[in-house]
Amino acid sequence: MAFGPAINQLRAHEGQTVTLHGWVYNKRSSGKVRFVILRDGTGYLQCVAFVKDVPQEVFDLMDLVSLESSVTVTGVVRLDQRAPGGVELGLTGLTLHHMAEEYPIGKKEHGTGFLMENRHLWLRSSRQVAILRCRSEIEQSFRDYFYQNGFTLLDSPILTPAACEGTTTLFETDYFGEKAFLSQSGQLYLEPACMALGKVYCFGPTFRAEKSKTRRHLMEFWMLEPEVAFAGLDDVMALAEDFLVYVVSRVLDRCTEELKVIERDTAKLQNVRKPFPRVPYKDAVAQLHALGSDLRYGDDFGGDDETVLTQQYDRPVMVHRYPSAVKAFYMEPDPQDPGLALCVDVLAPEGYGEIIGGSERIHDHDLLLGRIREHGLPVSAFQWYLDIRKYGTVRHGGFGIGLERTVAWICGLPHVRETIPYPRMLHQLYP
Ligand code: 4AD
Ligand code: MG
């Protein structure tokens, strides 16, 4: 089967006869003219035929063909300002591959429950296509940034014997009689790897059995995590800042059409420039109090606190040095105030909240051993992780960025469920 150009490449083929494969997105007719709107995943193409110009059976098929039927069209490319995408096809041939049954997702509004049950079909709608193309571009920009900046990609395991981000959100499975958990983060595996390769990153699916139903939580999400030897908290913050500026500018550059379809206010994304404000946790708490929050000093921020706080800024804000008590066991204490951790959360503007969590890691063997015990974690499962602190240990740090929350922010979506092809949410495992 020969493939012609994609719909979004047709402008370069003006006057040529081309053949395209796709699905019928829409159709209409008036008198002696018929229109079929073809979609191929890259765009929408108006195909036009007059009764005198095509065989009668082609003309009739343009009437009969149902929405979402699969077809191949042939015709001549014409520039036309009025047509979507600025081109239309003077149709000369139409072949039907399959006549679709009546499509369950129509132009009318559907409830979220119905759309989620029909996610496999919902994916075809213009808005979902635009979001998934943005996701793909964002994902590619994640990889490109680290590749171009000298990081080595290090794939971390999915089946793990130990918890990284707390024991309450583990998915457990049987591993030939041993307990195994689906990975919550690749970080523990990256730390030894950065001692081998200097600058490393992993990017893959991570799993958290979060019994919370919020617009920010998925059970399965994609996380990219860089880890750098000899890096301190300031280096981690500078890296996160530089990386986010790159990602946003790349999407603004390459996803103009998609952002238009999603009706994203791109002026807000233009503000994502250096420097991002760096706010110590204690100042953020004071700011929240002034804004009417009753958050107690020492508590982690809830989703609402993050929303209120980020609405005060026009770009991502980096909140650093949270109390160690509310953060993970592996974070280096602040030498100025050992009750605080050398950590950072990057909160996206417009109320999106935390998209990045990172820190400097404890590099001293005995301090880390003490923390593992304090957190009630099994020392034997962490022996390999402790080992790193015995052989040329150095300061090191990194962060994790959640892909879906980043897509939600950049695309301006109210809920993470639309940011991933097949979301895994509380009580939602189908399709
Ligand atoms: O802040 P978290 O838990 O950090 C870590 O996992 C570290 N080990 C990362 C590191 O330093 N290498 O998670 C990092 C990010 C969050 O900021 C958020 O964007 C995303 O992962 N995330 C989730 N996204 C969707 N659904 C969930 N349930 C998420 N939990 C975390
Ligand atoms: Mg976090």
- What pLDDT does 427 receive? 86
Ligand 2 centroid from CA 97, angstroms: 49
* Contact indicator for 62, 36 with CB cutoff of 8 Å: yes
Q: What separation in Å is there between the alpha carbon of 358 and the centre of ligand 2?
A: 8
Confidence (pLDDT) at 55? 96
Q: Which atom of ligand 1 is nearest to the CA of 345?
A: 17
Protein residue closest via CA to atom 4 of ligand 1:
357
Q: Is the CB of residue 306 below 6 angstroms from any atom belonging to ligand 1?
A: no
Q: Residue 358: CB within 6 Å of ligand 1?
A: yes
Cα 359 to Cα 186, 228, 320, distances in angstroms = 14, 11, 9
Domain boundaries, the chain: 7-98, 119-418
Cα 207 from Cα 205, distance rounded (Å)? 7
> What is the pLDDT tens value at each position of the chain, 431 positions in all?
567 899 999 999 999 999 999 999 999 999 999 999 999 999 999 999 999 999 999 999 999 999 999 999 999 999 998 887 899 999 999 999 999 999 999 878 899 999 999 999 999 999 999 999 999 999 999 999 999 999 999 999 999 998 888 889 999 999 999 999 999 999 999 999 999 999 999 999 999 999 888 999 999 999 999 999 999 999 999 999 999 999 999 999 999 999 999 999 999 999 999 999 999 999 999 999 999 999 999 999 998 999 999 999 999 999 999 999 999 999 999 999 999 999 999 999 998 999 999 999 999 999 999 999 999 999 999 999 999 999 999 999 999 999 999 999 999 999 999 999 999 999 889 99
Give the mutation target among 142, 221, 428 for probing the ligand 1 site: most ligand atoms within 8 A of CB.
Answer: 221
pLDDT given at position 1:
53
pLDDT score at 274: 98
Strands (E), 14-120: 17-30, 33-39, 44-50, 70-79, 87-98
Residue nearest to atom 31 of ligand 1 (CA): 402
> What DSSP letter does each residue of 214-254 carry, written as one string?
-TT--SEEEEEEEEEET--HHHHHHHHHHHHHHHHHHHHHH
At residue 2, the pLDDT reads 61
| Mutation to probe ligand 1, out of 223, 301, 399, 406 (largest number of atoms < 8 A from CB) | 223
Query: In this structure, which residue's CA is closest to atom 9 in ligand 1?
Result: 400
7-98 fold: OB fold (Dihydrolipoamide Acetyltransferase, E2P) (2.40.50)
Identify the nearest ligand to the CA of 184 by its number.
1
Beta carbon of 83 within 6 Å of any ligand 1 atom: no
Q: How far is the CA of 345 from the centre of ligand 2 (A)?
A: 7
pLDDT at 84: 79
CATH architecture of 119-418: 2-Layer Sandwich (3.30)
Structure-token pair, residue 275: 């420097």
| Pocket of ligand 1 contains residue 225 by CB under 6 Å | yes
> 343 near 233, Cβ under 8 Å?
yes
The pTM is what? 0.96
What b/e string do you get for 262-281 counting C-beta neighbours within 10 Å, with b at 16 or more?
Answer: bebeeeebeebeeebebbeb
Residues with CB under 5 A from ligand 2 (ion): 357
In the reported structure, the alpha carbon of residue 91 is separated from the centroid of ligand 2 by a whole-number distance in angstroms of: 54
- Ligand 1 contact, 405 CB (< 6 A): yes
CA 364 from chain center: how many Å? 34
Please tell me the distance between residue 271's alpha carbon and the centre of ligand 2 in angstroms: 24
CA of 263 to the centre of ligand 2 (A): 29
3-state secondary structure of 185: coil
**Domains 7-98 and 119-418 belong to one CATH topology:** no
Whole-Å CA distances, 329 to 193, 224, 233, 368: 19, 20, 16, 8
Which residues have CB under 8 Å from 215's CB, separation 6+? 408, 414, 415, 416, 417
Tokens of 81: 């300002």
Q: Whose CA is nearest to atom 22 of ligand 1?
A: 402
